[in-house]
Amino acid sequence: MLAGKYVDMLTKKSVIRELSEYAVARGREIGYENVFDYTLGNPSVPVPESFNNSIIRLIGEKSPMDLHGYSQSLGIAEVRTAVAESLNRRFGMNYTMDHIFMTSGAAGAIAHAVRLVCEPNDEVITFAPFFPEYIPYITHAGVELKVVKPSLTDFQINFEAFEEMINERTMAVLVNTPNNPSGIVYSEATIKKLSKILLDKSREYGHIIYLISDEPYREIVFDGKSQPYPAKYYDATITCYSFSKSLSVPGERIGYVAVNPACPDACKMIVMCGQISRGIGHNCPSSIIQWAVSENLSVTADMSVYEKNMNLLYDELTNLGFEVVRPSGTFYIFPKALEEDSVAFCKKGCKYDFIGVPADSFGCPGYFRLAYCIETEKVERSLEALRRFVKENY
Amino acid sequence: MLAGKYVDMLTKKSVIRELSEYAVARGREIGYENVFDYTLGNPSVPVPESFNNSIIRLIGEKSPMDLHGYSQSLGIAEVRTAVAESLNRRFGMNYTMDHIFMTSGAAGAIAHAVRLVCEPNDEVITFAPFFPEYIPYITHAGVELKVVKPSLTDFQINFEAFEEMINERTMAVLVNTPNNPSGIVYSEATIKKLSKILLDKSREYGHIIYLISDEPYREIVFDGKSQPYPAKYYDATITCYSFSKSLSVPGERIGYVAVNPACPDACKMIVMCGQISRGIGHNCPSSIIQWAVSENLSVTADMSVYEKNMNLLYDELTNLGFEVVRPSGTFYIFPKALEEDSVAFCKKGCKYDFIGVPADSFGCPGYFRLAYCIETEKVERSLEALRRFVKENY
């Protein structure tokens, strides 16, 4: 018999997917360039040329057995070392290769992190608004995901609600900063306060509460600022990274788990990741992609377009009277809808070919997300559609 | 707290790994060319040039967004279609892309297959000798793995023991032909008899018993023969494939699940694989590797060296009086040790720098495995060491 859990999942329609499919179908009718499709978070800028050049050079220079051969089960040693050194340079950490485990993107990293520090029926806490894929990532490991309600004024952490929720079964807290969908960067004050609570509660409950820090948008921060590095503030931090956004290579499925060397049993935890892999069929990202990434740790795709798009949208939304917190990073903006039911709101937008997604599944009903990883020229043209949409309906 | 299950795994030393590490360490002492290291199943022949050429051409021709962008969650449509058509041409099947799900090698494929058709506490049956990684693949999904004892005369299936073991909780049977470690190809008669039993028992128990067919060695068959395609003989077959061996790209982590179109709910099962991925952090193999593989479905690495090596070893082992079934494929040979304790036997071999692995963990104590995916010249030199080892000890 087919496994009931997955059969059931097939019947649950995702509104995001529905709207995204609508946008593509509408594109076939009127030309996709005329559909202002803000539904999906796919990078819209090309990979740096140096990444492709690395691949071509590697094929020419490396022996095929080294290049395409089995990676060591924790990732290629030289690649892990290069990742450690890059993090040390940038964030003043002291990782070695023994603190790095190469994964298939951040999804793979989180799949390992949760199994590393949780037993079935433990709890992980995350903060709304949150990336809805956290639900399968956490619950399919047999672990309960609890969601702290949002701080709507700034989308930092609602600490009051968090302190009410944390309890003896809480084994990890999962944060995502810069945040999908809010576009907000957690401030140093937020991270410090969170760390203090985690430290106090770890002592109170007699077990470590780990911080799982999901950082695929780390490199997309606006106004020349940068994201405070959470592991710098809390020893028991498991950093989950993906190169999907920074290098615009989401299809190549490459990222890593980095365990803070100050975390008790840090090296052991990395070796455990190799054991976890055996049961979930993961077994390392592609070797050639591991090598290529290790040569491109100091570069990113040209992501300036995202900040440009954000400013255009933020200014127009504000002009039109939307309640919206200005994003500090990512390629998302997260305004409050102009009516309570954000699903109805987004469906009305479709009539103007202005397509965002309602935020109910992000744990924040009444809001909607625009993923502005599209050409700036299209963002500019979309503003007129947005104006008409708002003026004719509200 | 760290998850106990994985902490416990760290303390279990694998004899195979121990011997493999010994071989590498010994190589540092006397030169690796002087260590006859038969421990690991890593392909020893290079990837076909056309595969690397595909990668270089794809980089030149495809837009970076298409080439490195998110793959659809079931795999790239064109790649799935190409895989389906290749299987149809070769085995007279009628797959479409809707029956194919792209995975990170066979490990990824089996991780999906077992979650697809088993609920926790169900049973999967496999046949000794078997690849020991089946234990984590199956048991980490919460499913019990039961092992049918071997048919020592031919390493086909011990049907008597199998019929005693199969029961109402059996949801799937996992076969691996050509087989690691025995090197044996299941005959058409074996596959037909297995299919008949599965069909009868499915009727008797009122639920389908699926055949999960793990086929990474499908393309390495000797004497100009070929492996009968199990799905051709049993409708409810889930074929798990890896390109690791046929293209010599084990590090690139690429394979697929193919569900027989004649299997009830075949297309639904493929969509379910996409749901399973969300929970285990899998999310497709690398895009560029998917594209490259789809252009190289009709080629393989030059694997003639494996047959040459097998013949050299088989003849010498037979001359020396070993009980050994002649392999029909793979790059393994599986003789009976010359004393009851095959661990002791293999450790004695180490003194002659002739290093195989005992088969206790393959469910076949008293036997040992030689992985002859090494240079023929080295195999030839190893025979003198083998002779000395045998003559001085038995």
Residues of A in contact with B105 (CB under 8 A): 281, 283
- Closest CB to A4 among B47, B105, B119: B119
pLDDT above 70 coverage of chain A, percent: 100
Q: Please report the pLDDT score of residue A151 as a whole number.
A: 98
Q: Are B371 and B332 spatial neighbours (Cβ–Cβ below 8 Å)?
A: yes
Q: Does residue B99 have a pLDDT over 90? A: yes
A133 in contact with chain B, both atoms CB, cutoff 8 A: yes
Q: Are A287 and A104 spatial neighbours (Cβ–Cβ below 8 Å)?
A: no
Interface of B with A in 284-343 (CB under 8 A): 284-289
Residues of B in contact with A281 (CB under 8 A): 103-105, 107-112, 137, 280, 282
Return all residues near B9 (Cβ < 8 A) that are at least 6 apart: A272, A275
pLDDT digits (tens, 9 = 90+) for B130-162: 999 999 999 999 999 999 999 999 999 999 999
- Closest CB to B249 among A1, A68, A110: A68
Distances (CA, A) of A46 to A300, B82, B123, B220: 10, 27, 47, 40
A144-148: strand order across its sheet = A100-103, A255-259, A237-242, A210-214, A170-176, A123-127, A144-148
Q: Please report the pLDDT score of residue A85 as a whole number.
A: 98
Residues recorded for chain A: 394
Dihedral angle over CA of B289, B294, B297, B301, nearest 10? -20
Average pLDDT over residues A31-37: 97
Closest CA to A385 of A370, A373, A366: A370
pLDDT digits (tens, 9 = 90+) for A328-365: 999 999 999 999 999 999 999 999 999 999 999 999 99
Q: Please report the pLDDT score of residue B14 as a whole number.
A: 79
Tell me whether residue B340 is exposed, middle or buried, using C-beta atoms within 10 angstroms of its C-beta: 0 to 12, 13 to 18, 19 or more: exposed
Interface of A with B in 57-76 (CB under 8 A): 59, 63-65, 67-71
pLDDT digits (tens, 9 = 90+) for B31-83: 999 999 999 988 999 999 999 999 999 999 999 999 999 888 899 999 999 99
Q: Does residue B16 have a pLDDT over 90? A: no
Helix %, strand %, coil % of chain B (to 5): 45, 15, 40
> What is the Cα gyration radius of chain A?
21
One-letter-per-residue 3-state SS of B156-174: CCCHHHHHHHCCCCEEEEE
d(CA B165, CA B209): 13
Q: Are B232 and B92 spatial neighbours (Cβ–Cβ below 8 Å)?
A: yes
Cross-chain residue pair B108–A282, CB shorter than 8 Å: yes
Q: Please report the pLDDT score of residue A12 as a whole number.
A: 82
Mean predicted lDDT score pLDDT of chain A: 96
Range in A63-67, B177-181, B236-240 the model is least confident about: A63-67
Distances (CA, A) of B222 to A280, B169, B177, B308, B358: 33, 37, 13, 10, 24
d(CA A336, CA A359): 9
Residues recorded for chain B: 394
Q: A15 pLDDT band (50/70/90 cuts)?
A: confident
pLDDT digits (tens, 9 = 90+) for B249-263: 999 999 999 999 999
Residues of A in contact with B117 (CB under 8 A): 1-3
Give me the total of CB pairs closer than 8 Å, taking one residue from chain A and one from chain B.
Answer: 229
pLDDT digits (tens, 9 = 90+) for A127-166: 999 999 999 999 999 999 999 999 999 999 999 999 999 9
Among B62, B110, B214, B252, the strongest candidate for a mutation testing the A interface, having the largest count of A CBs within 10 A, is B252
Cross-chain residue pair A288–B283, CB shorter than 8 Å: no
Cross-chain residue pair A69–B10, CB shorter than 8 Å: no
- Closest CB to A271 among B10, B44, B112: B10
Domains of chain A in sequence order? 4-47+302-393 (3.90.1150.10), 74-294 (3.40.640.10)
Return all residues near A208 (Cβ < 8 A) that are at least 6 apart: A117, A202, A236, A263, A264, B1
d(CA B182, CA A211): 46
d(CA B97, CA A27): 24
Indicate the DSSP class of residue A178. Answer: S
Containing B134, the helix (H) or strand (E) segment is helix B134-139
Cis ω for the linkage preceding A178 (within 30 of 0): yes
Among B17, B68, B114, the strongest candidate for a mutation testing the A interface, having the largest count of A CBs within 10 A, is B68
d(CA A140, CA A144): 9
Which amino acid appears at position B189 of this protein? A
| Helix extents (H) in A12-76 | 15-30, 49-61, 64-68
Closest CA to B202 of B227, B175, B234, B177: B234
How wide is the angle at C-alpha B205 spanned by C-alphas B194 and B127, nearest 5°? 35
Q: Please report the pLDDT score of residue B62 as a whole number.
A: 96
pLDDT digits (tens, 9 = 90+) for A191-241: 999 999 999 999 999 999 999 999 999 999 999 998 999 999 999 999 999
pLDDT digits (tens, 9 = 90+) for A81-134: 999 999 999 999 999 999 999 999 999 999 999 999 999 999 999 999 999 999
Å between A282 CA and nearest CA of chain B? 6
Q: Are B383 and B60 spatial neighbours (Cβ–Cβ below 8 Å)?
A: no
pLDDT digits (tens, 9 = 90+) for B193-207: 999 999 999 999 999
Q: Are B14 and B40 spatial neighbours (Cβ–Cβ below 8 Å)?
A: no
Q: Please report the pLDDT score of residue A1 as a whole number.
A: 84
Q: Please report the pLDDT score of residue B17 as a whole number.
A: 82
Cross-chain residue pair A70–B251, CB shorter than 8 Å: yes
Which residue of A lies nearest to B301 if distances are taken between CA atoms? A64
Q: Does residue A30 have a pLDDT over 80? A: yes
- As a whole number of Å, the end-to-end CA separation of chain A is 51
Q: Please report the pLDDT score of residue B255 as a whole number.
A: 98
Cross-chain residue pair A47–B55, CB shorter than 8 Å: no
Cross-chain residue pair A279–B141, CB shorter than 8 Å: yes
Q: Please report the pLDDT score of residue B176 as a whole number.
A: 98
Residues of B in contact with A272 (CB under 8 A): 2-3, 6-7, 9-10
Q: Please report the pLDDT score of residue A104 as a whole number.
A: 95
Return all residues near A13 (Cβ < 8 A) that are at least 6 apart: none
Cross-chain residue pair B288–A252, CB shorter than 8 Å: yes
pLDDT above 90 coverage of chain A, percent: 94
- Closest CB to B281 among A43, A70, A104: A104
Q: Name the residue with higher pLDDT: B348 or A11.
A: B348
Cross-chain residue pair A251–B110, CB shorter than 8 Å: no
Q: What interface predicted TM-score (ipTM) does this complex get? A: 0.95
Q: Please report the pLDDT score of residue A370 as a whole number.
A: 98
Q: Are A33 and A23 spatial neighbours (Cβ–Cβ below 8 Å)?
A: no
pLDDT digits (tens, 9 = 90+) for B279-288: 998 878 999 9
Q: Does residue B370 have a pLDDT over 90? A: yes
Q: Does residue B298 have a pLDDT over 90? A: yes
Q: A13 pLDDT band (50/70/90 cuts)?
A: confident
Cross-chain residue pair A55–B52, CB shorter than 8 Å: no
Cross-chain residue pair B281–A55, CB shorter than 8 Å: no
Return all residues near A36 (Cβ < 8 A) that are at least 6 apart: A353, A354, A355, A374, A378, A381, A382, A385, A386
How wide is the angle at C-alpha B36 spanned by C-alphas B22 and B127, nearest 5°? 80
What phi and psi values does residue A21 have, to the nearest 5 degrees? -65, -35
Q: Please report the pLDDT score of residue A17 as a whole number.
A: 82
Cross-chain residue pair B250–A2, CB shorter than 8 Å: no
Q: Is the dihedral of CA B58, B61, B64, B66 positive or negative?
A: negative
Neighbour-count burial for B62-94, b at 16+ CB within 10 Å, e otherwise: eebbebbbbbebbbbeebbbbbbbebeeebebe
Which residue of A lies nearest to B59 if distances are taken between CA atoms? A52
Q: Where are the beta strands (DSSP E) in chain B?
A: 36-37, 100-103, 123-127, 144-148, 170-176, 210-214, 237-242, 255-259, 332-333, 354-355, 357-358, 368-371
Among B122, B273, B283, the strongest candidate for a mutation testing the A interface, having the largest count of A CBs within 10 A, is B283
- Closest CB to B10 among A59, A268, A281: A268
Q: Does residue B211 have a pLDDT over 80? A: yes
